A and B are shown apart, each in its own frame.
Chain A
Amino acid sequence: MNEFLTLNVSASGMTAQRLRIDVISSNIANSESTRTEQGTPYRRRVPIFSEYLMGMGRVKSSGVKVTRIEEDPSPFRLVYDPTHPDANEDGYVSMPNVNVLREMVDLISAQRSYDANVAAFNVTKAMISSALQIGRG
C-alpha cells in the first residue's frame, strides 16, 4: 500500500472534475451557436466518467478518468425567428440543445466534487506529515 498513490487518486478526481468544468464552460459559451464545423447547430457535450485502476502493486486503487466526451443526442431547440439567417422555410431556427440552467447546476456540482477531492488530498497530506513527525519529540 502506497500512501502517495492515495494522493494520485485524489489528483485524478480533481483532473476529471476540472475537465468537466471545461466541457460545461464550452456548453454555456456555445448555447447560442447555430453553426459548427459539421454544419449543424452546436450539440451539448457530456463527459463520460469511468473508474480506472492505478498503482503497480498487487492492490490496485480506483482513480477516475474521463474516457470520452460524447454529444447529447436530444433534439435541438426550435425558436421562431424568421429574420435569422439560419431560419428554415417555416421561420424556425434550430438552437443548440443546451439548457443554461442545467449547465449552471452541473457546474456547481462539479465544483463541489472538486472541493471534496481537495479535502481528501489535504487529509492524506496531513496524515503523511504526522507520520513524518514520529520520533521528533
Chain B
Amino acid sequence: MFNANFQIIKTAMDVAMLRQNVHAQNVANAETPGYKRKYVVFEELLQESLKLQLSNTNKSHIQRVQQPVQPQVKQEEAFFYKNDESGVDIDFEISQMTANGLRYEVLSRLMSKNIEFYNIVLRSV
C-alpha cells in the first residue's frame, strides 16, 4: 500500500542511529587505554551489493535472492591516535557525530513529508 520510501528512510534512520551509538561509545572511551575505535560500514556494502548482479538468462538458473544489506560495526585494528594506545580522535568523532545528527534530522523530516502526502489524500476523500 505504501511506497518504498518508507522502508528506505527507515533503514537509513536505523543506520544513522547505530552510528550515533558507535560515536557515543568512542567518545566515552576516548581515554581508555587499549580501546579500539569502532565504526559503521553500510554505504560501501550497499554499493558492493549493487555491483555484483548476476543475471538469470535461463529459467533453470538459481534465482538470486535479494538479501537486505545489514550495517556492520567494525573496529579500527592497528591504529592508535595517542600514545596511551587509545584509537579515538575526539574532534573527528564529535564532528562526524554532529553531521550524523543533522542527517538524521533530514531523514525524519523526509519521513514526515511522506506521511503528509498520504494525509492529504485521506483528507480529501
Q: B residues 1-31 with Cβ under 8 Å of A?
A: 13-14, 16-18, 20-21, 23-25, 27-31
Task: Please indicate the chain A residues that have their CB under 8 angstroms from the CB of B20 in the complex.
Answer: 3, 6, 123-124, 127
Size class of the A contact interface (CB-based, 8 Å)? 35 or more
Listed residue (A50, A59, A133, A134) with the most chain B CB atoms within 10 angstroms of its CB: A134
Chain B count of residues within 8 A CB distance of the other chain: 36
How many Å lie between the Cα of A123 and that of B20 in the bound state? 8
Instruction: Give 10 nearest A-B pairs by CB, closest first.
Output: A13-B28, A123-B101, A6-B21, A130-B108, A62-B25, A9-B24, A49-B32, A120-B24, A120-B27, A64-B28
Which residue of the partner chain B has the closest CB to A126? B101
B interface SS class? helix
Dominant secondary structure at the A interface: helix
Residue B45 CB within 8 A of the other chain: no
CB-CB < 8 A to A49: which residues of B? 29, 31-33
